[in-house]
C-alpha cells in the first residue's frame, strides 16, 4: 500500500531465513482485514509503500536451525501478530504484548497478502493444521488467524457467561465472529447491531437472537427495549468509532462490561461521572489471538462452528486492489485471497 486507495501488486524479493527462529511459509490462503481498510482510507502517500496482510495459512518451505516444533511441508496458520509464545506476557495469555513480538508488514517482515512470508519466532507463532492443503475447512481455519480469535477475545474479556444478554455492535467479520464466540460461551440473548441485511442474516445463522438496524440513540433505545429496559449484560463493540462507543455506553446495563475490538478512530472517550456512578467496565483490545488457536480449532474441525462463512468473495493476487475497494464500499464482507 502506497497511500490511501493506492494498493499495488508488485514483485518483492523472495523471503530468506535471517534468524535461526525464522520459517519461510508459502501462502496458501490469505485475506483482507477490516483493519486494512483504515490505512486504505487515510494512509498518507509514501514512495516506499508497505507490505500488507496479516492473516494467512500456508505450507512451510524452510525453517531456521533453531526451529524444532515445525518442519518443511507442515500446513500452518499464523495469528495476526508473531510472538515467541514463551515470554512472561505470552505465558499469561497476552501474546499481543509479547516481548519479542511484532507485526507483519513492518520491520522488514513480509505481509501476508503475497506468495511467501518470513515468519519470525516460527515455533512460537505458527500452529500446525491437521488437514491437507485441499481441505474445504481452510477458510474457516484461516479465521483462527484473526477474526475468530478477535471475536472470542471480545466475548472472553466481556466476561460472557451462560445466560447473559450480549449486544454485538457491528456486522463486519469481527462482529459476526463475536456472535459465534458469544453463543459458544453460552450467551442466552445475542443482539446484533448492524444494517446490512445479508450480514445480519448470517449473524442470525451464527446465533444472533435479535437484530437492531437502528444506530445512535434509536439503536440504544431498541437494544434497551430488547433487554427489558436495562441494557445488555455485555457489549462487544466491533467498529471503533466514537458513535459506536457512545452506543455501547448507552446500551450496557449498570455494572455491565463493554469490550472493544475495533481499532479506535478517536483518542478520548466518555470517562466521567456516568461511567463511575453506573459501575461500567471498559475492557478488550488487540486480541492475543495466538492464545486461542488451540482452544478454538477443534470446534472448527468438527464443524460446530463455521466462521469461514464470513468470506463472500475469493480473488487471486492480481485482484487484491479490487478486494480492498469492494470491502471499503461494503460490496464484500471479507475477501479471501488465493495467491
Size of the site for a second copy (CB under 8 A): 33
Q: Which is nearer to a second copy, 140 or 287 (CB)?
A: 287
The answer to whether 237 and 284 have CB atoms below 8 angstroms apart is yes
Cell, residue 203? 449473524
Residue 88 Cβ vs a second copy, minimum distance, rounded to whole Å:
9
Q: Which of 189, 139, 147 is nearest to 168 (CA)?
A: 189
Residue 277 touches a second copy, criterion: CB under 8 A = yes
Q: Which stretch binds a second copy (CB under 8 A): 4-12, 105-113, 204-212, 272-280?
A: 272-280
Within 130-169, the residues that bind a second copy by CB under 8 A are: 157
**Which residues make beta-bridge pairs with 234?**
166, 257
Within 44-83, the residues that bind a second copy by CB under 8 A are: none
Q: Which of 297, 172, 295, 300 is nearest to 236 (CA)?
A: 172
Radius of gyration from C-alpha coordinates of the chain: 20
From 280, 332, 335, 337, residue interacting with a second copy (rule: CB under 8 A): 280
Residue 102 touches a second copy, criterion: CB under 8 A = no
The answer to whether 312 and 333 have CB atoms below 8 angstroms apart is yes
Residue 204 touches a second copy, criterion: CB under 8 A = no
The answer to whether 324 and 7 have CB atoms below 8 angstroms apart is yes
Give the DSSP letter of residue 158.
H
Q: Which stretch binds a second copy (CB under 8 A): 162-170, 283-291, 300-308, 329-337?
A: 283-291
Q: Which is nearer to a second copy, 281 or 314 (CB)?
A: 281
98 sits in the region (left: phi over 0; alpha: psi -120 to 50; else beta) called beta
Residue 271 touches a second copy, criterion: CB under 8 A = yes
The site string for a second copy over 227-266 (x = CB under 8 A, - otherwise) reads: ------------------x--------xx----x--xx-x
Residue 266 Cβ vs a second copy, minimum distance, rounded to whole Å:
6
Give the DSSP letter of residue 3.
B
Rounded-to-integer distance, Cα 74 and Cα 84, Å: 19
Residue 96 touches a second copy, criterion: CB under 8 A = yes
Q: Which is nearer to a second copy, 89 or 311 (CB)?
A: 89
Q: Which of 144, 309, 175 is nearest to 239 (CA)?
A: 175
Residue 281 touches a second copy, criterion: CB under 8 A = yes
Residue 286 touches a second copy, criterion: CB under 8 A = yes
Q: Which stretch binds a second copy (CB under 8 A): 12-20, 173-181, 280-288, 293-301?
A: 280-288
Q: How far is CA 69 from CA 74, 101, 196, in A?
A: 10, 18, 43
Q: Which is nearer to a second copy, 134 or 268 (CB)?
A: 268
How many C-beta atoms lie closer than 10 Å to residue 279's C-beta? 11
Q: Which stretch binds a second copy (CB under 8 A): 9-17, 18-26, 51-59, 279-287?
A: 279-287
Residue 273 touches a second copy, criterion: CB under 8 A = yes
**CA-angle at 99, arms to 93 and 104, nearest 5°:** 90
Residue 301 touches a second copy, criterion: CB under 8 A = no
Rounded-to-integer distance, Cα 51 and Cα 7, Å: 10
Rounded-to-integer distance, Cα 240 and Cα 233, Å: 20
Rounded-to-integer distance, Cα 293 and Cα 278, Å: 35
From 279, 295, 330, 338, residue interacting with a second copy (rule: CB under 8 A): 279
Q: Which is nearer to a second copy, 188 or 312 (CB)?
A: 188
Binding site for a second copy (CB under 8 A): 89, 92, 94, 96-97, 157, 245, 254-255, 260, 263-264, 266-273, 275-286, 288
Amino acid at each position: 500500500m502506497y497511500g490511501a486507495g493506492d494498493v499495488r501488486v508488485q514483485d518483492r524479493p523472495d523471503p530468506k531465513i535471517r534468524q535461526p527462529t525464522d520459517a519461510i511459509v508459502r501462502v496458501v490462503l490469505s485475506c483482507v482485514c477490516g483493519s486494512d481498510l483504515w490505512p486504505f482510507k487515510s494512509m498518507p502517500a509514501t514512495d516506499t509503500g508497505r507490505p500488507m496482510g496479516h492473516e494467512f495459512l500456508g505450507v512451510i518451505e524452510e525453517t531456521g536451525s533453531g526451529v524444532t516444533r515445525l518442519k518443511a511441508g507442515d500446513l500452518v496458520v499464523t495469528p495476526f501478530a508473531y510472538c515467541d509464545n514463551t515470554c512472561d506476557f505470552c505465558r499469561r495469555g497476552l501474546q499481543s504484548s509479547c516481548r519479542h513480538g511484532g507485526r507483519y508488514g513492518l520491520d522488514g517482515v513480509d505481509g501476508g497478502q503475497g506468495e511467501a512470508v518470513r515468519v519470525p519466532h516460527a515455533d512460537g507463532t505458527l500452529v500446525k493444521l491437521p488437514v491437507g492443503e485441499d481441505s474445504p475447512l481452510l477458510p474457516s481455519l484461516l479465521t483462527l488467524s484473526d477474526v475468530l480469535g478477535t471475536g472470542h477475545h471480545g466475548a472472553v474479556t466481556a466476561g460472557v457467561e451462560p445466560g447473559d444478554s450480549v449486544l454485538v455492535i457491528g456486522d463486519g467479520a469481527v462482529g459476526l465472529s463475536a456472535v459465534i464466540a458469544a453463543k459458544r460461551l453460552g450467551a442466552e440473548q445475542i443482539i446484533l447491531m448492524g444494517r446490512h441485511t445479508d450480514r445480519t442474516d448470517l449473524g442470525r445463522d451464527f446465533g444472533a437472537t435479535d437484530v437492531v438496524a437502528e444506530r445512535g440513540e434509536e439503536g440504544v433505545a431498541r437494544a434497551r427495549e430488547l433487554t427489558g429496559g436495562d441494557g445488555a449484560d455485555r457489549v462487544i463493540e466491533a467498529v471503533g468509532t466514537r458513535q459506536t462507543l457512545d452506543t455501547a455506553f448507552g446500551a450496557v446495563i449498570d455494572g455491565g462490561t463493554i469490550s472493544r475490538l475495533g481499532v479506535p478512530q478517536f483518542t478520548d472517550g466518555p470517562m466521567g461521572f456516568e461511567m463511575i456512578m453506573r459501575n461500567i467496565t471498559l475492557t478488550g483490545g488487540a486480541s492475543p489471538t495466538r492464545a486461542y488457536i488451540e482452544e478454538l480449532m477443534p470446534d472448527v474441525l468438527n464443524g460446530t462452528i463455521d466462521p469461514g462463512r464470513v468470506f463472500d468473495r475469493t480473488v487471486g493476487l492480481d485482484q487484491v486492489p479490487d478486494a480492498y475497494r469492494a470491502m471499503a464500499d461494503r460490496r464484500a464482507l471479507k475477501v479471501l485471497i488465493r495467491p
